[in-house]
Amino acid sequence: MSTTSINALVDAEQGSSLWRDAWLRLSRNRPALAGFAVLTLFVLVAILTPWVAPYDYAQQNLELGATPPSADHWLGTDIFGRDLLTQIMYGGRISLAVGFIATAVALLIGVSWGAIAGYMGGRIDAVMMRLVDILYALPFMIFIVLLMVVFGRNMLLLFLAIGAVEWLTMARIMRAQVQSLRQQEFVEAAVSLGLSPLAIIWRHVIPNALGPIIVYTTLTVPSVMLLEAFLSFLGLGVQPPETSWGLLISFGTETMEEYPWLLFFPGLVLAITLFALNFLGDGLRDALDVRGAKD
Amino acid sequence: MIALLLGACGSDEPRVAQGNRQGILHFGNGTEPQGLDPHVVTGIPEMHVIVTLFEGLVTKNPHTLEPEPGVAKRWNISEDGLTVTFHLNDSAKWSNGDPVTAYDFVWSWQRALSPKMGNQYAYMLYPVKNAEAFATGEITDFSDVGVTATDAQTLVVTLNAPTPYFIQLMDHQSTYPVHRQTIEKFGNAFDRFTPWTRVENIVSNGAFRLTDWKLNRRIEVTKSDTYWDRDKVALNGVVFYPTENISTEERMFRVGQLHRTESIPLDKIPVYRAMQDSPYINSPYLGTYYYLFNTSKPPLDNLNVRKALSLAIDRRRLTETVMHGSTLPAYSITPPGTLGYEPPKVFEHDVEQARELLAQAGYPNGKGWPGLELVYNTSESHLKVAVALQQMWKDALNIDITLANEEWKVYLDTVDQMDFQMARRGWIGDYVDPNNFLDLFLCDGGNNSTGFCDPVYDDMILQQAPRATTREARYATFQAAETRLMEQMPIVPIYTYTSNHLVQPGVRGMSSNVMDWINFKYISLDQDQGTVD
Amino acid sequence: MWRFIGSRLLQAIPVLLVVITVTFFLVRVAPGGPFSSEKAVTPEVKAALEAQYRLDRPVLEQYIAYLGDLIRGDLGPSFKYPGRSVNELIAAGFPVTAELALYALLVALLIGVGAGVVASLRPNTAQDYIPMSAAMIGICIPSLLLGPLLILVFGIYLDWLPVSGWGDMPGDKILPAITLGAVYAAYIARLSRAGMLEVMTQDYIRTARAKGIPEWRVVVVHGLRGGLTPVVAFLGPAFAGLLSGSFVVETIFQVPGLGRFYVQAAFNRDYTMILGATVFLSSLIVVFNLLSDVLNAWMNPRLRSRAGQNT
């Protein structure tokens, strides 16, 4: 066997035990498990909504208008007399999809970009990070409006547009992490063993830098859901009668004194999602943090 | 005791109560004015400030909207209706003490019409002989334009044709006088950019003068002591606040920071309406809210489809539920009651007939319906109307309409290029005359945007109506034209706008009219009144 | 250190140039021009307006003319506000936004560091969860909602504070600052908690404790300096974010700041104002990121030498 293949084998073994240990630690973390359970439940409900929703989401009753929670409508109705619970369930389909997919896009681009820039350093790093600076500075709104004109309105573009802004900060955080990791012994050891830079980044650097990334990601998902409401305002995103949590919240805000339930329930659902994500995120970080575990 | 405690917490006497004592009106003005040059800017917030600072030949009675003396103390119209002579008030003064003369008007109109100014309201002067030719650059010698000063107090205007509403136009900011020496002192007189309207530079001739202007914060005007009718002016000043966010504006009103709001959030209407001595003012406004049909694209090239869509809308239900009764159902483009003109009503809500029409068009019960997209600019109230109509069409005709909101400027482009099937639109009259609404749909009308073109209609508006000798005959022609228009249905009228404001109980003399026009000179404040709770 | 600062500033020049160029062409391709309005403008009027703003010239010529003006510090006339220059608009709005951002940052630091440090002292207990959850609320309540909520409670129901304005009435700066700072408080709380947790297990803290120094001194004097490093690194981007992200708060509270001008400019297609504000804000962001890196290196001696080597 060549040295490289031995190394690969060792790596693979190390890798798998790292993940296994992490899973073990995670499964002992109650808040994290609870968070995971809540998110799974939300996703399940979102998937099953067309079959389990109590009402048709578009059906209006203008004469009924906005009514507080009642036996017929558990969470009340909106100004068109539509059932709020149904609206939240359908809104969840969009918001969860946007939240998770757009964040995943941002994560993928941001983490790879930041890791490569941070690891390579020097001129490559400078060019890559200045590109990030440029994208930061461009007027976002005009950018979105243009994207829409060029590509027309569709959901794919929505994911792309959100991913396109959110990856920038991810890249910065990742780069900072990688820069400090690069000096550490285990990376230098891997370099001296002759592993390719990409392999080192993927196997050694990224897993060790995941902590802050996970924390930032859990914060990103809810803000992405709210960003979607702004993009809908620009015309990208969902069109009525479809809705999303972000839209329900922004409409609810307008009438928070007259019809507080229209704000409270969508807000509550978003807050629960945020906390669930947070507990899960913290659990994941602790589980993956080798140093913390040794302590 | 409680009041004392609260006072200690830093909450002063409400601005409104203080204003009532000092005679200062605190006015919610929508957005920050673009500027204060009467020949450059166009919007309503701008107009509110400008009418306090400047005065035209005539001004309007706030109740009847009939012209009353401004800088001109009287005027006569020649027998043939082609010559108007204005006799100026010799006590009319600029804020620096200079007299306002007929020469000022001639020069000001030259400025207002000069092509380089890019004045979007230059057309207000187009009834004047050769004014249009001068504004479009066809002629360059202003002495050919039909306005001359025979002496300092006499202005003679020659018209292209008898124009019944001409005197009314003399109250439009585009016809206002501006002070030549001041403008020339601060740059080229025919340049849009000159800083002559800044607080430290401006010279004006209205009931008030500009005393403070902080961008995006406040504009303050103070009673002018050179104004000819100053004894009638009750207010000591007005402060205008830019209030883009209508929810913020409503909260400012509620805590007594504003005497009057520019608008009111839809869902607050029932709350305010239910109040005793309600501060909510709602009155018909000279504007119509409608959807444009693109008659050059299927399926709306089919008249039956257009009619079916229009007949299927239950306008009363829409205005009473979603709009909380703040607007009135509309069945024509001209709003009712524009100086005695009553628009025809050629159709009404009729679901049965709508279904039949749709079947005739080849879509019985929505079968084979190719789909239709409605474009509207992003706004909560447009959204609400669209969502309600979407469902009405679905219920009545079993057809799907998709909604597409666009950011304002994108929407303007879409409408301008007719790159839509159906689009939201609103039109607010610039002057009180059916002509201002009906000439929208001329074949080459810049705001037509429907593809509608009917030579007979054009002939009625452009040839027959102006030749009518009496108001009745003229209105009859307009009615015939409007009937013709609505039978071809290039638009769906939805509702007539109303002006919606919150006004504190201490405000007197702010009367409602279809132009939502305020004559600040007649407003007074009752110092014994507090604020609405 | 000076070489590091110098090279970063040099790098900023091409960055700004690309930003200007891209923005310049971006706004011109975007649908809807500065003069489109609901009432159609006649061709003559449109031509006159375009001539006044050089829009009738070839785009490349406009671009070169713009760069020329820019070098002289002239950001051009505003399209939306005839008679006002973009320099003037920025000069009017920026001090207000900067003041608001500064107060917001103080609020965020106060709440964030407070919650983070308290939480880190007893991790995974109620003393951890409660302050962290409270700080977290800032993230899931957007300013669009927090602002009106605070106004309703403190401005209307309790009548303690003004509901809008900036410097017009005593206390009217409090609510906007809290609303804007709340989002960042959550980030700072997380960062300072993590930083403190890491530092408090270090040897020098153990040494300090072993010496019998009182616990509060250990935390405040020894712990904070190292534990707040991540927070300091975040300050630059945070302040930059506050400066460019204050639009919503400014609108809700009628604060006459740059954010309102900037976003309105985008809606109005006020080409020169969009460009001017973009150039101005991105220059600021460059400076703040740099400052934060320098400060970070100064606080963390281990990084100091590396900062000199890198880039």
Beta bridge partners of B84: B77, B157
Bond from prior residue into B299 cis (ω within 30 degrees of 0): yes
The per-residue pLDDT of chain B, averaged, comes to 91
Domain annotation for chain A: domains and CATH numbers: 16-292 (1.10.3720.10)
Residues 409-448 of B with CB under 8 A from A: 410
Q: What is the pLDDT of residue B9?
A: 40
pLDDT tens for C160-170 read 899 888 988 88
Which of A60, A63, A254 lies at the smallest CB-CB distance from B380? Answer: A254
Determine, for residues C15 and A133 on separate chains, whether the beta-carbon distance falls below 8 Å.
Answer: yes
Determine, for residues B410 and A148 on separate chains, whether the beta-carbon distance falls below 8 Å.
Answer: yes
Hey, is the C-beta of B377 within 8 angstroms of any chain A C-beta?
Answer: no
In chain C, the residue whose alpha carbon lies closest to the alpha carbon of B254 is C156
Two tokens at B11? 């909450």
Helix (H, G, I), strand (E, B) or coil at B11: coil
C14 contact residues in A (CB cutoff 8 A): 130
In this structure, which amino acid lies at residue B125? Answer: L
Residues 178-237 of C with CB under 8 A from B: none
Strand B422-428 versus strand B372-377 pairing type = parallel
Determine, for residues A130 and C14 on separate chains, whether the beta-carbon distance falls below 8 Å.
Answer: yes
Cβ pair B337, B514 in contact under 8 A: yes
Determine, for residues A239 and B391 on separate chains, whether the beta-carbon distance falls below 8 Å.
Answer: no
Domain annotation for chain C: domains and CATH numbers: 88-309 (1.10.3720.10)
**Burial label, C216 (beta-carbon count in 10 A; 0-12, 13-18, 19+):** exposed
pLDDT tens for C28-78 read 888 888 888 877 788 888 888 888 888 889 999 999 999 999 999 999 999
Chain A nearest C-alpha distance from C12 (Å): 8
pTM exceeds 0.80:
yes
Instruction: Kindly tell me the sign of the dihedral angle through the C-alpha atoms of B181, B185, B190, B191.
Output: negative
Task: Return the percentage of chain A with pLDDT > 70, whole number.
Answer: 91
Q: What is the dihedral of CA B158, B161, B167, B173, to 10 degrees?
A: -80
Strand B67-69 versus strand B72-77 pairing type = unpaired
Determine, for residues B251 and C156 on separate chains, whether the beta-carbon distance falls below 8 Å.
Answer: yes
Helix (H, G, I), strand (E, B) or coil at A257: coil
Q: What is the dihedral of CA B513, B518, B523, B528, to 10 degrees?
A: 70
A141 contact residues in C (CB cutoff 8 A): 263, 266-267
Question: How far is Cα B420 from Cα B398, in angstroms, rounded to an integer?
Answer: 22
In chain B, the residue whose alpha carbon lies closest to the alpha carbon of C168 is B217
Residues 80-119 of C with CB under 8 A from B: 80-84, 89, 92-93
Q: What is the pLDDT of residue A294?
A: 33
- The predicted model gives B204-211 an average pLDDT of 96
Chain C nearest C-alpha distance from A4 (Å): 31
Cβ pair A114, A84 in contact under 8 A: no
Return the beta strands (E) in B179-334 as ranges.
Answer: 208-214, 218-223, 237-241, 280-293, 328-329
pLDDT tens for C73-124 read 999 999 888 888 999 999 999 999 999 999 999 999 999 999 988 988 887 7
Whether A48 has a pLDDT exceeding 60, the answer reads: yes
pLDDT tens for B352-371 read 999 999 999 999 999 999 99
Whether C7 has a pLDDT exceeding 70, the answer reads: yes
Pick from C179, C181, C184, C136: nearest CA to C154: C179
Hey, is the C-beta of A138 within 8 angstroms of any chain C C-beta?
Answer: yes
Q: What is the pLDDT of residue B262?
A: 93
Whether A291 has a pLDDT exceeding 60, the answer reads: no
Q: Could you tell me which chains touch chain A, where touching means 3 or more CB pairs under 8 A?
A: B, C
Pick from A270, A149, A245: nearest CA to B407: A149
pLDDT tens for A256-266 read 889 999 999 99
Which of B11, B255, B410 lies at the smallest CB-CB distance from C32? Answer: B410
Which of C52, C252, C261 lies at the smallest CB-CB distance from B192? Answer: C52
C140 contact residues in A (CB cutoff 8 A): 222, 267, 270-271, 274
